[in-house]
Structure 1
Amino acid sequence: MKKLRYSAKINAPVGDVWTTMLSDSTYRKWTSAFNQGSYFEGDWTKGSEIRFLGPDDKGSLGGMIAVVEENRPGEFISLRYVGQVVDGADDTTSEEAKEFIGTHENYSFSENARVTTVEVVLDSEDDFAAMFDEAWPVALAKLKEIAEERR
């Protein structure tokens, strides 16, 4: 298991960046870097379940299931993964699912002089690290573009 870190400086107030990152319509845009057609079901409230979904490479519904462990608006969000979605069905018991159940993905936000720094820290299996290393910088660049356009 690796701990991966990514960050971006965005020329927008932290509230604008927070909203851009977590609102349904803009979430779909910046997460297209991971999977065209990505979306979430649920909400970002502490203690709630949230599903990150999209078409898999066979056209079936796939994704991840998480619990929001922490949500401090404008500051921090922590997600703990509890399962995956495979062919539209929840999977919390397969060996593949067990490999990442309990891992975290955390988003930290800080603002200085109307420039927001977003830092993403996540646990990753070695097999997925290269994909994340490619996709996260693209996703954060899209987030930056969208948030700065909204100003």
Structure 2
Amino acid sequence: MEQLHFTIRIDAPVHAVWSTMLDASTYRDWTRAFHEGSHYVGSWAEGSTIRFLAPGEDASHSGLVATVVENRLDEFISLEIHGAVSRGIDDTTSAHARRFAGAHEDYSFSESDGVTTLVVAVDTDEEFTAMFAADWPRALARLAELAEERAATAD
């Protein structure tokens, strides 16, 4: 597995970025860059299981199942992937699922003068490197738009 890093500066306070990233409705919006219909089921609370899902061809959902290892409000989130979700069922034992097991996704947030820097570190199988290299910047650009809109309407 290799680790990819993506960084974006967003013209919005850190809490606006944090809440935009994690809110269920805005999450669906910014993660469309990966797959239309992407969403999560579960909680971002530390120790919780969370599933990242997208609709499949047969109306079932597929994706990844993870644990929220750490969650420090407006600072840091760390996820550990345990396996896949296939046709709506958690799969941690198949060869496909084991490819993802142990991977981490970490999100670090910092703010200076009302501008938030978000750093994303993602462990990935080399099969997905090119896809992530294209999709993450688009997803983060959309997240920035949404967070900046949220911050502007909060003033």
Q: TM-score, normalised on structure 1?
A: 0.97
Matched letter for residue 3 of structure 1: Q
Give the match for residue 80 of structure 1.
80
Unpaired runs of 5+ residues, structure 1, are: none
Give the match for residue 136 of structure 2.
136
List aligned pairs for 1:115-134, cutoff 5 A.
115-134=115-134
Unpaired runs of 5+ residues, structure 2, are: none
- Contact kept, 8 Å, 2:84 with 2:100, in 1: the verdict is no
Give the match for residue 150 of structure 1.
150
- 1:17 partner SS: helix
Pairwise CA distance, 1:60 = 3.1
- Between 112-121 and 51-60, report the one with greater CA deviation: 51-60
Give the match for residue 105 of structure 2.
105
List aligned pairs for 1:21-60, cutoff 5 A.
21-57=21-57, 59-60=59-60
Give the match for residue 89 of structure 2.
89
- Between 54-63 and 24-33, report the one with greater CA deviation: 54-63
CA distance in 2, matches of 1:74, 1:24: 17
CA distance in 2, matches of 1:106, 1:62: 21
| RMSD (Å), alpha carbons | 1.0
Pairwise CA distance, 1:56 = 2.8
Matched letter for residue 28 of structure 2: R
Pairwise CA distance, 1:54 = 1.1
